[in-house]
Amino acid sequence: MPSAQRRDSPRGQAIAERAARVIPGGVNSSTRYIGDPYAFAAADGAYVTDADGRRYLDYHAAFGAILLGHNAPVVNDAVRAALGGLDLVGIGVTEPEVELAERIVDIIPSAESMIATMSGSEATAQAIRLARAATGRDLIVKFQGGFHGWHDAVARNVISAPDKAYGRDPLSKGILAQAIDATLIAEFNDLASVAELFDRHPDRIAAVILEPIPHNVGALLPTREFVEGLRTLTAERRALLIFDEVITGFRHALGGYQQVVGVTPDLTTFGKGMANGFPIGGVAGRRDLMERFNGRTGDVLLAGTFNGNPAGCAAALATIGYLQANPDFYTRTHALGARMREGLTAIVAELGIEATVAGFGGVFALYFAKGPALGYRDLMRNDNAAYVAFHRGMTDRGFLMLPMALKRNHVSGAHTEAEIDLTLEAARDVLSTMEG
């Protein structure tokens, strides 16, 4: 059970101070610094332990990379076995790479062929480059609020302030203006906004890239008409449809959200939960498209020394193998997610808080705004300060939720009903305090 209560963190603060002297900002990814807890020392199952020995029930789950639970024995054992044999060679191919590609082709509806990368950002970069090569076009469409990695083509318009939403809102300095302007912004669940961009830029849009559920802003759920409409529209306009399933892939169904919704994109990117925390990602899709990565006959560069490394492949094969052998994983995590969402809905109603509970499967988010939340325009009504305060209050009580507006929470395979109920008790306490 959680043991954390907000108090002094001398060891964590000391580690954070050391980090700040040698790492810019003290963290290796810009959203990792959250204050207390400053540093972590151990993880097991549904729990993480900070450097001062406080234990947290983990709903952050490394932005969703932890699917089965921390240090899942089935995954770690497979990695240990891999490390005892072949390490990185960097030429030719290894059997684990082949086996992983065969497994992906077998389970993901859009997959006729696959390449391995080291991360989701690399996967989306490869998919976008491939789309431009295959179509001979220069523009990409993404949705306000969608995050597809750190690279220039998509590093814009994620959690935008109301005065910047839908306008020019790059995430970083140092991006060429041409790269920013080559990505167009549409509204999620609004097919007309996408069609308008195709009309405004005839024969220039190479692809539409979509998080089927935009989990980077919580959990906006797509209507079936919207996703089916995107499939029809892109086909009619001879553009590609890319599903970015880096978060939704393997978490919501073995075949990704495309299996759930019954719509098959041209390309799919994936990563995070596929290896339960080990670094790996990939792109899969139509064979005629993927063959452009062929180093002998294709025209799209595929490179990466660590692509298909034995440890990552072993972790992915073990994770996917577990999911194949235990289909009740989804029944169970979906039920736990529903228990959490139903409980939060009852609590905010009981307390008279204007809030909307959203989510799918094992993912949940509590928006501090009146629903429904269908697109980013609806999220601009969210009380971001309350969102952060709720997550901070939960973390201070030992339930780790990233204290940042619109960030989602994840139930892993290691959580239990008792822990969900304990979390709901804490949520009632936090929300009551906030209201008071």
pLDDT at residue 142 in the model: 98
Say yes or no: domain 73-325 is CATH 3.40.640.10: yes
Q: What confidence tens digit (pLDDT) does each residue in 267-277 have?
A: 999 999 999 99
Banded model confidence at residue 6, pLDDT cuts 50, 70, 90: low
* Number of neighbouring beta carbons within 10 Å of residue 43: 17
Residue 257: pLDDT above 90? yes
pLDDT at residue 33 in the model: 93
Residue 4: pLDDT above 70? no
Q: What is the DSSP string of 291-317?
A: GGG-TTT-SS----TTTT-HHHHHHHH
pLDDT at residue 343 in the model: 98
Q: How far is CA 302 from CA 94, 141, 168, 240, 244, in A?
A: 17, 23, 30, 19, 19
Query: Which tokens is 420 given?
Result: 């969900």
Residue 8: pLDDT above 90? no
Q: Which residues have CB under 8 Å from 189's CB, separation 6+?
A: 220, 222, 223, 226, 374, 375
Residue 13: pLDDT above 70? yes
CATH superfamily, with its number, for domain 10-71+327-435:
Aspartate Aminotransferase, domain 1 (3.90.1150.10)
Mean of pLDDT over the chain: 96
- The residues spanned by each domain of the chain are 10-71+327-435, 73-325
Q: What confidence tens digit (pLDDT) does each residue in 377-415 have?
A: 999 999 999 999 999 999 999 999 999 999 999 999 999
Residue 145: pLDDT above 90? yes
Q: Which residues have CB under 8 Å from 200's CB, separation 6+?
A: none
CA 91 – CA 398 distance, rounded (Å): 46
Prediction pTM value: 0.96
Give yes or no for a contact between 428 and 355, defined as CB atoms under 8 angstroms apart: no
For range 229-253, the mean pLDDT: 98
pLDDT at residue 336 in the model: 98
pLDDT at residue 314 in the model: 97
The reply to whether 10-71+327-435 and 73-325 are identical in fold is: no
Residue 436: pLDDT above 60? no
For range 254-277, the mean pLDDT: 97
pLDDT at residue 102 in the model: 98
Give yes or no for a contact between 284 and 303, defined as CB atoms under 8 angstroms apart: no
Q: What confidence tens digit (pLDDT) does each residue in 43-102 have?
A: 999 999 999 999 999 999 999 999 999 999 999 999 999 998 889 999 999 999 999 999
Q: Tell me which of 435 and 190 has the higher pLDDT.
A: 190
Residue 303: pLDDT above 90? yes
pLDDT at residue 92 in the model: 93
* Number of neighbouring beta carbons within 10 Å of residue 359: 23
pLDDT at residue 435 in the model: 67
Q: What is the DSSP string of 139-177?
A: EEEEETT----SSTTT-BSSS--TTTTTS--BSSTT--H
Residue 205: pLDDT above 70? yes
Half-sphere exposure of 153 (CA within 13 A, CB side): 23
pLDDT at residue 174 in the model: 97
Q: Which residues have CB under 8 Å from 432's CB, separation 6+?
A: 351
pLDDT at residue 94 in the model: 95
pLDDT at residue 1 in the model: 77
CA 219 – CA 409 distance, rounded (Å): 10
Banded model confidence at residue 284, pLDDT cuts 50, 70, 90: very high
pLDDT at residue 107 in the model: 97
Residue 324: pLDDT above 90? yes
DSSP secondary structure code for residue 28 in this structure: S
For range 119-144, the mean pLDDT: 98
